Amino acid sequence: MNDSYGYTIVFMLVLSAVFTTVLAVTQGAYLPVISENERNVERKAILKVLNIEPGPSASSVFEERVVPAAVGDWDAYLAYDDGGHPLGYAFPLNGQGLWGSIRGFIGISPGFDRLLGLEFVEQNETPGLGGRIDEAWFKNQFQGLELRAGEDIAYGSGLDAITGATSSSQAVLSLLNAAIAELLPLKEVVGS
Amino acid sequence: MIRSLLVRNIWDENQVLRQILGICSLLAVTNLVRNSLVMGLGLIFAVGLSSLTISYLRNYIPHRIRMIVQTLIIAAWVILFDLIIKAHLPEISRALGPYVGLIITNCIIMGRAEAFAQKNPPLASLLDGIFAGLGYMLVLVIIAVIRETMGFGTILGFNVNFLGLETWTIMVMPPAAFFLIGVLIWIVNIIMARQAAAGGGERG
């Protein structure tokens, strides 16, 4: 075994170059697939918060039913039903959870008076505890909640936090309330 | 040779129960059986291929920097594994989240690299790595079955709480894994002591 400095440095450089190349090439090859997967996760979340069944091909349903719509400063999405009537808006939901960032979407009715749904695209809460914010029973509780200006949503009757995951439950709620507080005044913008 | 490698890695020198390695990830993922299975599979993949690569290169790696080299190789395989499941199994990748990257820091991989792959031929190292990963996965699943049953009343997400008993929140939290792994190590120690006393070290 050769232990000279020259050999050590050359060995490390060659090895790093080989592995970096392999990883870079693999990542480059997979990049389109991975970003398409990520876009699909977002499309599915947007369809779900608007209560549209994504079906086997979320991207084609998405193309058919949803259009991007700027509401105030928000990059929102607007969905229509078969008759061309608006079903609702999907707004991005971003912020801090207990352990990391939470990204998702909320659906709001065309009249900005009801919550249509809540979905997460990314969350890093403890699996089995805070991670349960991504379970259907928890998210479904938010469907159909009435929105009133100046009135925060709170846990209590009809809306349960997760046992053993109080902080994550609260984090979701404060994200939601912050977004709604900003969104409700935009009702006028949409109406016009 | 295969048999002795298997027995040694799963029982005599089980990475978790005898060497007390890989405990951090055990505490984190064992509250659900599914996460434990995927974590185990990821580790088997990573430790097997890392050991194989390190064994191939073992005569060229300068002694002084061998640990850096091992870490580099381990990290490369784990990133590759992460990319593959991100592209082909996006659902599982999402469920595992940050755990996959954490495989890099699993002491078992470096333990096998230092203790075995550095001195043994490639095929034996590959098998040693796979069996070590298997021994780890086995312990993970045992703990996970207990924790998921008592903490959620489910196994692999299916309800097994037929009597409607109250579930234990503590079982979902990391400390439960500490208690359970302690008890498991205790039991295995008793069995091993008995074996040694009875057979006079039959396995040598």
Q: Give me the residue spans of the domains in chain B.
A: 2-199
| pLDDT of the residue at B168 | 85
Q: From the CA of A32, how many Å to the nearest CA of chain B?
A: 9
Q: Which residues on adjacent β-strands are paired with residue B191? A: none
Q: From the CA of A130, how many Å to the nearest CA of chain B?
A: 11
**A151: helix, strand or coil:** strand
The interface pTM score, or ipTM, of the predicted complex is: 0.76
Average pLDDT over residues A76-101: 89
Q: Tell if the CB–CB gap between A12 and B69 is shorter than 8 Å.
A: yes
Query: By the CB < 8 Å criterion, does A15 face chain B?
Result: yes
Dihedral pair phi/psi, residue B164, rounded to 5°: 65, 35
Query: By the CB < 8 Å criterion, does A9 face chain B?
Result: no
Site of tokens 């208690």: B179
Q: Identify the DSSP state of B203.
A: T
Q: Tell if the CB–CB gap between A127 and B173 is shorter than 8 Å.
A: no
Question: Residue A171 carries which side chain, given as an amino acid letter?
Answer: A
CA distances A3 to A6, A114, B64, Å, are 8, 71, 7
| pLDDT of the residue at B31 | 83
CA distances B44 to A49, A68, B30, B107, B154, Å, are 38, 44, 16, 13, 26
Q: Which residues of B touch A37 (CB under 8 A)?
A: 86-87, 90
Identify the residue among A26, A124, A134, A162 best suited for mutation to test binding to B, counting B beta carbons within 10 A and taking the highest: A26
Average pLDDT over residues A36-58: 88
The Cα B79–Cα B172 span in angstroms is: 29
Give pLDDT < 50 ranges for chain B.
Answer: 204
Asked if the model's pLDDT at residue A128 lies above 80, the reply is: no
Domain borders along chain A are 48-191
Summarize pLDDT for B68-117 with one digit per residue, the tens: 999 999 999 999 988 988 898 887 787 677 778 888 888 899 999 999 99
The interaxial angle of helices B33-57 and B122-152, nearest 10 deg, is 170
Looking at per-residue pLDDT, the higher value among A164 and A33 belongs to A33
Site of tokens 């790696």: B61
Centre a 10 Å sphere on the Cβ of residue A24 and count the other Cβ atoms it contains: 10
Beta strands in chain A (DSSP E): 66-71, 74-80, 86-96, 101-108, 115-122
The sign one gets for the Cα dihedral B74, B78, B81, B83 is: negative
Cβ-contact A86, A121 below 8 angstroms: no
Q: Tell if the CB–CB gap between B68 and A2 is shorter than 8 Å.
A: no
Q: Which residues of A touch B173 (CB under 8 A)?
A: 129, 164
Query: By the CB < 8 Å criterion, does A70 face chain B?
Result: no
Query: By the CB < 8 Å criterion, does A33 face chain B?
Result: yes
**B102: helix, strand or coil:** helix
Cβ burial, residue B202 (10 Å; 0-12/13-18/19+) = exposed
Q: Which residues on adjacent β-strands are paired with residue A106? A: A91, A118
Angle at A160 between CA A154 and CA A161, to 5 degrees: 80
Go through chain B and tell me how many residues it has. Answer: 204
Identify the residue among A15, A40, A122 best suited for mutation to test binding to B, counting B beta carbons within 10 A and taking the highest: A15
The Cα A42–Cα A87 span in angstroms is: 18
Identify which of B56, B55, B25 has the alpha carbon closest to the alpha carbon of residue B38.
Answer: B25
Looking at chain A, which residue has its C-alpha nearest residue B98? A124
